[in-house]
Structure 1
Amino acid sequence: MERYRKGKIPIQKFELLETFANSHEDFPLIDKWLDIALQNGVKHLFLNFKSYPMPILRILAAKSLRELDVQGSMPDSLSSGVVNCKSLRKLSLSHLRLDKNMVQTILNSCPFIVSLILEYCTGKLQKIKSDSLKVLKIHHRGIEEIDAPNLVSLDYMGSQIPELNKIARDSKIRLGCINNLNAAWFCKLRKFLSNLSSWSHVSLKFMNCCEIKMKDLQMDHIGSTPRVDVLNVDIQWMNQNFVDALLWSCHPRRLNLLSNITPTITHFIDRLVFLTNSSHSTSHKSLPWHSQLKEIKAFDGKNQSLQLINGELAKRTLMEGEKTLLNSCPLIVSFSLEHCSGNLGKIKSDSLKVLNIRQHGSTWEIDAPNLVSLDYLGSQIPELKIARESTQLEHSKIILECNNLNASWFCKLEEVSI
């Protein structure tokens, strides 16, 4: 550091970690290093201490400082002597104890801050107010209110959803719940999203899910109904009413589902199809919660896309005897099932013309009199019920593949020959 002091060498980034401060005897040396860094125009300062009495006022007074990361130690109060810091643009605080006024005092003293990160901090934090703030990240703590009209990115993970005042439609919103995911949380989510008539992108992440009682949801919610163009949902576990609460609170047009637990995705889609096929998802004369949903995509834990069904429904298990999607959509002409599990049993549709089944568990019968294209890969050939006398069958396209070829397979092939 003496070389930097004597040569007045500019410093872009300076880091001090707690390993350097083994006792109070090291504090004068740390003070000296900090002075050299600040005098030499440091732009990015990273400090990680547990006991060092950080001279935060002197640090904020540095005219060159653009970015400040502080971990582990911070003065308990900044109520006196705060300077006007016009250079600071990015502030990150983690593993600190914050009083209710500390963060707001810093924001008031640094009027040009555009990025604020608060991670794993304790203490009370009631409100954040800033006209300059564009990026806000708060993880593992609660906050009651956010007033940042120029915010373009909010990444919030906590036990409750804050009240939001004024935000742009195209803002990037990511919300997560670390515990207590229940009906009250989804009511808060709906109120949060009702700040605008529609949102471009919203991402939600859930670690677990408590019991969600549908009667606790505000079914006749007063105020505007939220609309989300693209909703990204990262979930590892859910209960039966999770899908209901999610659609009620967000009303998405497009839904991207991420989970490294395949049964979770299956259960999600099963519930969604049930809502589509029933009247349980309507409230009096209001539109069904899923009425805006046009597309759903599913991804595994490695962010690999799972095969879609006809571009609308993701991977799911179709159980024999269930009221199926085909019954509810009498005009479907193209249906595709790829890499799905479970026993499908029978497919019956008078409108179906194109059918693609690849590596499904079991399909015993296909009753589709107007079918003109069949692409089937499986361990057995299903029974085909199609209009053999139809003239359009002269141009039918049938592709059959086997992953367990034996004599019985060829006997089945002879039976379906047209």
Structure 2
Amino acid sequence: MIDILPDCLIQKILCCLSFKEATRMSILSKTWLQEWSTLPNLEFTINCWEGNINTANTTMERYRKGKIPIQKFELVESFANSREDFPLIDKWLDIALQSGVKHLSLNFKSYPMPILRILAAKSLRGLDVQGSMPDSLSSGVVNCKSLRKLSLSNIRLDENIVQTLLNSCPFIDSLILEYCSGKLQKIKSDSLKVLKIHHCKIEEIDARNLVSLDYVGAQIPELNKIAGESNQLEHSKFGCINHLNAAWFCKLRKFLSNSPSWSHVSLRFINCCEIKMKDLLMDHIGSTPRVDVLNVNIEWMNQNFVDALLWSCHPRRLNLFSNVTPTITHFIDRLLFMMNSSHSISDRSLPWHSQLKEIKAFDEKNQSLPLICGELAKRIRMEGEKVYFLLDWCS
């Protein structure tokens, strides 16, 4: 009965599975075996101790002789002291590149990746590299106009490597940098729309057409003016212990001021240092940035944290996440104080927090909740309920 499915549907099903799962499905019948043998997605983890190098080589030879197209090729090198096998890896990459591969995912421990030969492939649209990258690249050596997505993780980077790759691949619209050592002075690209930087040191971002930014790190980089709407700024809760102070919030406000609007901003903290509000107010930067949704995840905070946070941006919706009851209680108390200040002061220019006109609380079913601090804190902390606040600010 399983053979009544059309061949194209069988291959589509197999493509939705991992390569290992698809291999298991190939025993169902000759039809499934045939479709598995021409899968466009290949995935190999090479370990000389497991003796699977010959299996991978046989498979790649079959694809070469049959001129079977490869859309996605994933290769993980998990062995050491295997230089004698480097020619085989060279051959497999050549087979994949010559077959018109569109996405390469490469994780190498010791193999010297031929990045220039890879970028010369006219079909390549996505490149994911982990663990290995040449120490330097010569600018202008390649011109890869097909690449759209580049992901680099767990490798040592310098500004020359990243900027040369961006210059050589002028149409990259998605860049991911994760857990890379080294320090980058600047990322500059007019083509980037999606940028993800997790735990990499970067001082400046110049990408005026960004529409999505996901940043996790201890220090906020400089952000040049961008034209589009950015989606997410995320800060690592592990990087804030010694850096979350007045200067940090000044940088946050300046960072957010360089985009016309933000749909989502997510901030995660573990603790914060002393925050002197006088230092913040002396560093006034134009109008306060507006954020549609602000997600705040914090464990411990001092008395000025809420003031500093809402000085740096004015969210329309605020989602609060915490496991510490005193933190939740103080956060909500401070919000209510700001709202009450607004109602009692006729001059809306002083003090700055009088700009908060109204607060409404809702549960995850969008049902209105009474603004009773103890009850809301219990819902968030004890019951794990998702409570959010709608904030109405003076223009």
Normalised TM-score (structure 1): 0.68
Distance 1:265 1:306 in 2: 20
Aligned pairs for 1:325-364 within 5 A:
none
Asked if 1 retains the 8 angstrom alpha-carbon contact of 2:293 and 2:319, the reply is: yes
> Percent of aligned positions with the same letter in both sequences?
77
Aligned pairs for 1:403-418 within 5 A:
none
Aligned pairs for 1:261-272 within 5 A:
261-272=324-335
How far 1:121 sits from its partner (Å)?
Answer: 0.4
Q: Counterpart amino acid of 1:288?
A: W
1:208 and 2:271 are equivalent in the alignment: yes
Aligned pairs for 1:50-129 within 5 A:
50-79=109-138, 82-129=141-188
Structure 1's 173 and 278: CA in aligned 2 closer, same or farther, altered over 3 A? same
1:231 and 2:294 are equivalent in the alignment: yes
Q: For 2:327, what is the secondary structure of its paired residue?
A: helix
Q: For 1:172, what is the secondary structure of its paired residue?
A: coil
- Name the residue aligned to 2:391: none
**Which of the numbers 316, 330, 344 marks the counterpart of 2:373?**
316
Normalised TM-score (structure 2): 0.72
Q: For 1:218, what is the secondary structure of its paired residue?
A: helix
- Name the residue aligned to 1:243: 306
Distance 1:272 1:120 in 2: 36
Asked if 2 retains the 8 angstrom alpha-carbon contact of 1:49 and 1:73, the reply is: yes
Q: Counterpart amino acid of 1:194?
A: S
Structure 1's 290 and 97: CA in aligned 2 closer, same or farther, altered over 3 A? farther
**Which of the numbers 270, 275, 284 marks the counterpart of 2:338?**
275
Structure 1 or 2, whichever has the larger Rg, is: 1
- Name the residue aligned to 1:255: 318
- Name the residue aligned to 1:396: none
Asked if 2 retains the 8 angstrom alpha-carbon contact of 1:247 and 1:290, the reply is: no
Distance 1:92 1:149 in 2: 20
Structure 1's 42 and 206: CA in aligned 2 closer, same or farther, altered over 3 A? same
Q: Counterpart amino acid of 2:369?
A: I
CA offset digits 1:201-230 (Å, max 9, x no partner): 322222432232223323461433322233
Aligned pairs for 1:140-179 within 5 A:
140-168=199-227, 170-177=229-236, 178-179=239-240
1:288 and 2:352 are equivalent in the alignment: yes
Distance 2:357 2:170 in 1: 41
Q: Counterpart amino acid of 1:116?
A: L
Distance 1:121 1:22 in 2: 24
Distance 2:297 2:317 in 1: 14
Distance 1:271 1:210 in 2: 18
Structure 1's 226 and 47: CA in aligned 2 closer, same or farther, altered over 3 A? same
Asked if 2 retains the 8 angstrom alpha-carbon contact of 1:204 and 1:234, the reply is: yes
Q: Counterpart amino acid of 1:316?
A: C
Q: Counterpart amino acid of 1:184?
A: A
Structure 1's 141 and 307: CA in aligned 2 closer, same or farther, altered over 3 A? farther
Unmatched 5+ stretches in structure 2? 1-59, 381-395
- Name the residue aligned to 1:192: 255
CA offset digits 1:64-94 (Å, max 9, x no partner): 1111100111001012563000011100000
Q: Counterpart amino acid of 1:289?
A: H
- Name the residue aligned to 1:133: 192
Asked if 1 retains the 8 angstrom alpha-carbon contact of 2:270 and 2:300, the reply is: yes
- Name the residue aligned to 1:18: 77
Size of the aligned set, in residue pairs, is: 315
Q: Counterpart amino acid of 1:28?
A: P
Q: For 2:311, what is the secondary structure of its paired residue?
A: helix
Instruction: Determine which structure has the larger helix proportion and give its number.
Output: 2
- Name the residue aligned to 2:20: none
Structure 1's 141 and 204: CA in aligned 2 closer, same or farther, altered over 3 A? same
Unmatched 5+ stretches in structure 1? 319-336, 342-418
Q: Counterpart amino acid of 1:140?
A: H
How far 1:119 sits from its partner (Å)?
Answer: 0.4
How far 1:150 sits from its partner (Å)?
Answer: 1.4
